[in-house]
Amino acid sequence: MSQETMSRRNALKLGALGVTGAMLSASQAMAAAPTEKEVKFDEEYDVIVIGTGFSGLAAAAKAAERGYKVLILEKMGRVGGNSVINGGGMAVPNSTWQKKYGIEDSGEKFIADCLKAGLGINHVEMLQTIVKRSNDALEFALKCGAKFQDVKPAWFGGHSAPRTLVTENMSGSGIIQPMAAFVEKLPGCKILTRAKMDDFVMSSDGTSVLGVTARINYRFDKNLVSDDVENKSGEKKVYRAKKGVILASGGFAMDKIYRKMQDPRIAEDQDATNHDGATAGAMLKAFQIGAMPVHIDWIQQGPWASPDERGFGVAPLLTQQGLFVHGIAVDVRNGKRFMNEMADRKTRADAEYVILREAPKMFPVSFGTYNTFGEQIYPQVEKGIQTGVMKKFDTLDALAANYKIPADALKATVKKYNEDALAGKEDEFKKQTLKDLKAAPIDMKGPFYAIRLMPKPHHTMGGLKIDTSARVISANTNKPIPGLFAAGEVTGGTHGASRLGTVAVTDCLTFGLIAGETI
């Protein structure tokens, strides 16, 4: 069977299931979530948290520290969601790390950076809250046992100053694993994995959230087009939440139906950086009880991903903290740079898509030399070579030949870049690291390290509207829905059209803590 036939069949199946899913959602909306009169509660808790990523664990910990009995439901077989596989970077303006290394920064600069990346449609009060509480979020992560590299904060794309702390293992697991252990030791805290929330339980008048229906011993099936619609596994349970429910279920970048409905340019089989369970089901249930949606159709693409590995992989670490900072990215058709490698994510992804829509298989190439990488990245360099996502070449001619890049044009591009780097001046793309960091030039002696680039769906910008106290706002009343709170990627508005790299960890921890404090 040809690839084209397979693609057509998948498209037909997706379309049919999309209609089925829409019909199911409409039917459920008319039937409404069950009320307390229609169910019998199996167990009772003070607080129920949906999800075990940064925001869910932070919310659970804070609620438990206040003496509440907390149940945490995680639909996958392990804790962490996307948080456990992210790059471990946390942007913190005015941190002690910045002060230690003499870095000038401010909350105003941070907010300006976020607004620029977000095309000005961010809800500013949310950014102001992050600025106010980001150091609290950092202290909480440290209290739980997270360990960050004791080096100068990293400079990530779109930021006007180095403000990102990176975990010692360069992964979100460096925060999630100690947080999960911390939460499990707290009195009254219980984590259930393979436990999927199905719906909310409402008060008799339908205005307040009193609990959830769920399935335990549920098994996510990644082979289904829509696990949320098709999967019926598990045993039904009903849980009461006396104080409320905190939704921390994450984004929907792996939801083949919902992401395509929001952005038809995303193919049904397009790889994403997310874990398999990043679907829209829990968020849609909140919409059905009246939660206000914000920015749902803004889906961020990660410009540092590669077609040569599945999912998140190691390419984002090697590009964001190496090749993009001091190296360059070129259009393989002409050997020329085509973007500011340190711009915000949307700007870079859009630039890459200009090439890929003209020539779908002509993936841009980012490259540099060993001095391109910081010392903390060296172990990842070897890993990238071993996995095949990064290739090593002795000469620029060899690199050009491998990717079919015009060699003379490539050498001219590198020559100009090096001249700008040595002069410490702003280049034609206004790359800040050349001007402000006096970026290390590319060593013409080699060897050269290269990664092919392909944007992948990474962060879904939209979700539920919450206020600065993490209360979910009703679209019907423009007031908080009693008993419903949310934090993290399931919410919308904070980041506008596109999120700055490494701000998600800060956002999730900040509003997770606030949800646990408010409930």
Which residues are the active-site residues? 345
State the burial class of residue 120 (Cβ atoms within 10 Å of its Cβ: 0-12, 13-18, 19+).
exposed
Counting Cα atoms < 13 Å in the Cβ hemisphere of 472 gives 33
Closest C-alpha among 57, 52, 45, 47 to residue 512: 57
DSSP designation for 62:
H
d(C-alpha 51, C-alpha 290), whole Å: 21
Please state the φ and ψ torsions of residue 328, each to the nearest 5 degrees. -140, 165
DSSP 207-246: -SEEEEEEEES----TTSS-HHHH---SEEEEEEEEEEEE
DSSP 344-364: -HHHHHHHHHHHHHHSTT---
Residues 6+ apart with CB under 8 A from 502: 87, 89, 90, 91, 154, 156, 164
Checking 474-482 for CB contacts under 8 A at 24+ apart, the result is 474/290, 474/291, 474/292, 475/290, 475/291, 475/292, 475/293, 476/290, 477/290, 478/292, 481/207, 481/208, 481/209, 481/289, 481/290, 481/291, 482/203, 482/207, 482/208, 482/209, 482/244
Sign of CA pseudo-dihedral 301, 52, 482, 513: negative
Please state the φ and ψ torsions of residue 184, each to the nearest 5 degrees. -65, -25
Match 């990530």 to its residue by tokens: 156
Match 């619609």 to its residue by tokens: 229
DSSP 321-342: IIIHHHSEEEETTTTEE-S-TT
Strand partners, 73: 50, 192
Token pair belonging to 75: 């639909």
Whole-angstrom CA distances from 294 to 287, 300, 330, 429, 511 are 11, 15, 36, 32, 17
Count the Cβ atoms, other than its own, within 10 Å of residue 466: 29
Count the Cβ atoms, other than its own, within 10 Å of residue 34: 18
Radius of gyration of the chain from its Cα atoms, rounded to whole angstroms = 23
Give, for 456, the enclosing helix (H) or strand (E). strand 456-460
